[in-house]
Structure 1
Amino acid sequence: MRDPVTGFVYPDAWVERCQDPYRLHLAEEGLAVLTASGTVIVRGYTTGTTAAAACMAAVLTLDGPPALSVPVTLPCGLVVDVPVDAEGGRATARKFAGDYPGDVTAGIEFVAEVLPAAEGIHITFGEGIGRFSRDTPRYKKDAPAVSPPAFACIEESVREAMETAGLPGVRIELTIPKGRAVAEKTLNPRVGVFGGISVLGSTGLVEPWDDHLTESSLGRVSAAGLPVLTTGRIGLRFARLRFPEDDVILIGGKIGESLAVVRDEAVLFGLPALILRHIRPGILEGTGYGTVEELAASPLFGPIVRETLAEFSAHNPGIKVILIDRKGTVIGETV
């Protein structure tokens, strides 16, 4: 059985240990994760998926009947039915957290209101959606904190709804009424995003990083000949291309725990933020930058990374570190 989201082939022993056929089916469909113990943990929906559902439902009900769910095509290619409460061009959708106990945005309400337009798709990101307090390498000051994959998912969902409803154009306002309050519990204030939460989602699904999933990941790390540890989806994709014969394992932020169970050698591969913060927690001190992404776009990055990786390699000779940018280009690695 293969996970359609990550591509990981579940060992037969894991499948045999699962005693819940329904949940096993969810894992087979990509909506959940099977662990080594046979436990199945349900994935949640990202803020991007929730936003797309609200916008899609608002468009469908502008001149159509009320809706209780809509089919959203996720960035990873899966199609999921997302519950909504929609009527008369106004829709709400609540973020589903799955079995992820630490999701502070669980249950938060997204509201979309739509009006007809002459042509095209016009989306306003309003109350409760964060905005950047300064220019960054990818976003301008005051731009809404909406990632490109999330925006593409929203736009495609709206386009599908427009075709179904026969509308030439729409104007949509998307808000998150409690977004400002919830944002204080997230990392947004630390990374320069103010006024609300971010609308994100590279796959459209949230990984349920709880103790069961961590245990399964660590089991894979300790059993692999050369585990390739990656912290996120972008790293996962490019690691598979670079290391097609090795076991590429998504570990999220569990870098320390994963390195502790490596048998001999391993590769730590991915975007620089989590990896560099683990290797050198104070890497931003004295740089004048608020995030690793901003540092990476500055002349300081090269010397700092070379020094940091050289020191790490001296103390951890069996761990090769490879840092990439979002296009998969290597921007730093241990010798």
Structure 2
Amino acid sequence: MKVEDMKGGYTTGSCATAGMKAGLLALLDKNIVDQVVIENPQGQYIEVPIKAIEVISDIEAKVTVMKDGGDDPDVTHGNDVETTVTLDNTGELRFRAGFGVGTVTKPGLAMPPGEPAINPGPRAMMKIVFEEHCVHGQGVTVTVSVPNGKVLAKKTLNHTLGIEGGISIIGTTGIVKPMSEEGFKNSLVPQLKVMKANGCETAVLVPGRIGQDLAEQVLGIHKNQMAETSNFIGFMLEKAVQIGFKRILIIGHIGKLIKLASGSFHTHNRMSDGRMESIVAYAALEGASQEVCEELFNCQTTESTFPILEREGLTGVYQRVVDRASLRSERYIANEAEVGIIITTLKGEILAMDKHAKEIGELEHWHIPCIS
């Protein structure tokens, strides 16, 4: 199915805003509705169905909206977002994190520490509702809860970012665009902002669990200094430089990072897969015969080349990979930062590291082993 044929949806921020509006209608107008239309900060209108409304008292109502992400594979899709609206006489709009909604604990995010993890986009949408329905002197406290939020948060980056207790209520437009690669990439960037705000001078980029485990368990790098990149290593390199990092260390499996050595910075196998070609080229530079090159070329995985490289005395290939990956990475960001590379096996054993990785490790006082 093409992306343009897929169904869009609405964000957790839209769910909370719709819940707030339905709650105010129930309390102020005695009107129980089964759907509402809300406005996003861009002036677009979004129709959101209401699952349930419970009028608790004359000043309090709880509204449940089921999150519908359309065809987007969102962890919150199908989960309930509960918004409790409480009227008061403060003349202000206030926000609280209910069960399953996180609280910000670190600087560097859109909201300061101590605030509910209800992002500026949803707050702006709720302010529109507040100004539309509340007369002078009326105040509203909006408490957003997600019953399954603590479980869902484990599938997000919230803990890494310093958001504790549940998920974030997010959305800049209130609308979910299905399969948005751009949206996923942008969701990775706050990791770097939090690191910088907490005084980190070196950004450690890890494509996945292998690099992360090695960095934390072997090298002694704190998880708060690491950012997951997924397949978007080039994008995260650029963002790290924009945010102000001058030293960057990339740690990951050779099968992923060998792609950087050939200048491929989107590492999904559909976008770039010249692993065997690169290994053959470096093996040839190490003196491999044509017969050995053919044998390597016919391997299906980088791991399956290891016995051949060891048998033929060609393990210098690993050093060539990291040296070239470092060079190409620095070129990619116009030499605006020093980039070190460490490549590993699937078991997390270090195969090689370049000189920049060693220098960065020594500067940061990490446990960088000697690799012969």
Taking the aligned partners of 1:314 and 1:87, their CA distance within structure 2 comes to 55
Contact kept? 2:100, 2:150, Cα under 8 Å: yes
Counterpart check, 1:315 vs 2:282: no
Counterpart check, 1:231 vs 2:182: yes
CA-CA distance at 1:133 after TM superposition: 3.9
Q: Taking structure 1 as reference, are residues 202 and 76 closer, same or farther at Cα in structure 2, changes over 3 Å only?
A: same
Counterpart check, 1:301 vs 2:245: yes
Q: Taking structure 1 as reference, are residues 80 and 287 closer, same or farther at Cα in structure 2, changes over 3 Å only?
A: same
Matches within 5 A, 1:161-310: 161-162=133-134, 168-209=138-179, 231-232=182-183, 252=184, 271=189, 277-278=206-207, 282=211, 287-288=221-222, 289-290=224-225, 292=227, 301-304=245-248
One-letter code of the match for 1:71?
Answer: V
Extract unaligned runs of 5+ from structure 1.
Answer: 1-33, 214-229, 233-251, 255-269, 321-331
Taking the aligned partners of 2:2 and 2:109, their CA distance within structure 1 comes to 37
Q: Taking structure 1 as reference, are residues 281 and 147 closer, same or farther at Cα in structure 2, changes over 3 Å only?
A: farther
One-letter code of the match for 2:125?
Answer: C
Could you state the TM-score of these two structures normalised by the residue count of structure 2?
Answer: 0.50
| 1:301 counterpart SS class | coil
Counterpart check, 1:42 vs 2:7: yes
CA-CA distance at 1:175 after TM superposition: 2.4
Q: Taking structure 1 as reference, are residues 122 and 319 closer, same or farther at Cα in structure 2, changes over 3 Å only?
A: closer
- Equivalent residue, structure 2, for 1:146: 118
Extract unaligned runs of 5+ from structure 2.
Answer: 193-203, 229-238, 267-331, 336-372
- Equivalent residue, structure 1, for 2:104: 132
| 1:67 counterpart SS class | coil
One-letter code of the match for 1:103?
Answer: V
- Equivalent residue, structure 2, for 1:158: 130
Q: Taking structure 1 as reference, are residues 131 and 105 closer, same or farther at Cα in structure 2, changes over 3 Å only?
A: farther
CA-CA distance at 1:120 after TM superposition: 2.2
Q: Taking structure 1 as reference, are residues 120 and 253 closer, same or farther at Cα in structure 2, changes over 3 Å only?
A: closer
Contact kept? 1:110, 1:175, Cα under 8 Å: yes
- Equivalent residue, structure 2, for 1:66: 32
One-letter code of the match for 1:185?
Answer: K
Could you state the TM-score of these two structures normalised by the residue count of structure 1?
Answer: 0.55
Q: Taking structure 1 as reference, are residues 153 and 281 closer, same or farther at Cα in structure 2, changes over 3 Å only?
A: farther
Counterpart check, 1:94 vs 2:66: yes
Contact kept? 2:100, 2:166, Cα under 8 Å: yes
Contact kept? 1:133, 1:193, Cα under 8 Å: yes
Taking the aligned partners of 2:151 and 2:167, their CA distance within structure 1 comes to 9
- Equivalent residue, structure 2, for 1:221: none
One-letter code of the match for 1:111?
Answer: T
User: Which one has a larger percent helix, Structure 1 or Structure 2?
Assistant: 2
Q: Taking structure 1 as reference, are residues 172 and 144 closer, same or farther at Cα in structure 2, changes over 3 Å only?
A: closer
Taking the aligned partners of 1:176 and 1:280, their CA distance within structure 2 comes to 28
Is the deviation greater in 99-108 or in 144-153? 99-108
Q: Taking structure 1 as reference, are residues 282 and 161 closer, same or farther at Cα in structure 2, changes over 3 Å only?
A: farther
One-letter code of the match for 1:184?
Answer: K
CA-CA distance at 1:115 after TM superposition: 1.5
| 2:133 counterpart SS class | helix
- Equivalent residue, structure 2, for 1:329: none
What percentage of aligned pairs have identical amino acids? 27
Taking the aligned partners of 1:124 and 1:98, their CA distance within structure 2 comes to 27
Taking the aligned partners of 2:12 and 2:240, their CA distance within structure 1 comes to 26
One-letter code of the match for 1:315?
Answer: A
Taking the aligned partners of 1:162 and 1:56, their CA distance within structure 2 comes to 11
Contact kept? 2:99, 2:146, Cα under 8 Å: yes
Contact kept? 2:119, 2:169, Cα under 8 Å: yes
- Equivalent residue, structure 2, for 1:80: 46
Taking the aligned partners of 2:152 and 2:162, their CA distance within structure 1 comes to 15
Taking the aligned partners of 1:92 and 1:316, their CA distance within structure 2 comes to 51
Contact kept? 2:16, 2:81, Cα under 8 Å: no
Contact kept? 2:13, 2:169, Cα under 8 Å: yes
- Equivalent residue, structure 1, for 2:199: none
Alpha-carbon RMSD: 4.2
Q: Taking structure 1 as reference, are residues 179 and 103 closer, same or farther at Cα in structure 2, changes over 3 Å only?
A: closer
